[in-house]
Amino acid sequence: MTVLPAAAKNLSALTSIRFLAALRVAMYHLVNWDNRTYWWRVLGQSSFALYMLHAPLLIFATWYFANRIELGHIGRLAVVAVIVALSLALYKWVEAPLTAKLRKSLFHSAAAAPKYSELGDTA
């Protein structure tokens, strides 16, 4: 294991900050901001799946690529993109259908199921 001098560590952090800033600028120009509320809503709906998947998959990716190749910034970004895509798929094809079935079985119809916003204050 090599020990990096303090200047090299600061340079690495500065490079990461520049990369993230460039990514932010690129995303601003590539994303259709008319649909941004849709994407935030979809990401919010799949946040539980993202929460449950991110740690195990990041650990697996770290283990799998440990001695094979150096991922770099683009590779790490690709791993995060895969995790987000898997969480979206898990929400769409597992979590949402099971939630709908559970609501239907508990409330005998999806239309009669109370929504969180309709519950009001219980305190």
CB neighbours of residue 88 within 10 Å: 16
Q: Could you list the residue range(s) of the whole structural domain that residue 109 is in?
A: 33-113
Q: What is the mean pLDDT of the chain?
A: 76
Per-residue model confidence (pLDDT) at position 4: 47
Dist CA 112 CA 108 (whole Å): 7
Same structural domain, 37 and 26: no
Same structural domain, 62 and 22: no
Q: Give the number of domains in the chain.
A: 2
> If 0-12 CB within 10 Å is exposed, 13-18 middle and 19+ buried, where does residue 49 land?
buried
Same structural domain, 50 and 108: yes
Between 99 and 6, the more confident residue is 99
Dist CA 103 CA 123 (whole Å): 24
**pLDDT of 17 strictly over 90:** no
Per-residue model confidence (pLDDT) at position 82: 92
Same structural domain, 73 and 13: no
Same structural domain, 18 and 37: no
Per-residue model confidence (pLDDT) at position 40: 78
pLDDT in tens, 51-109: 999 999 989 988 888 888 888 888 888 889 999 999 999 999 999 999 989 888 887 65
Same structural domain, 53 and 105: yes
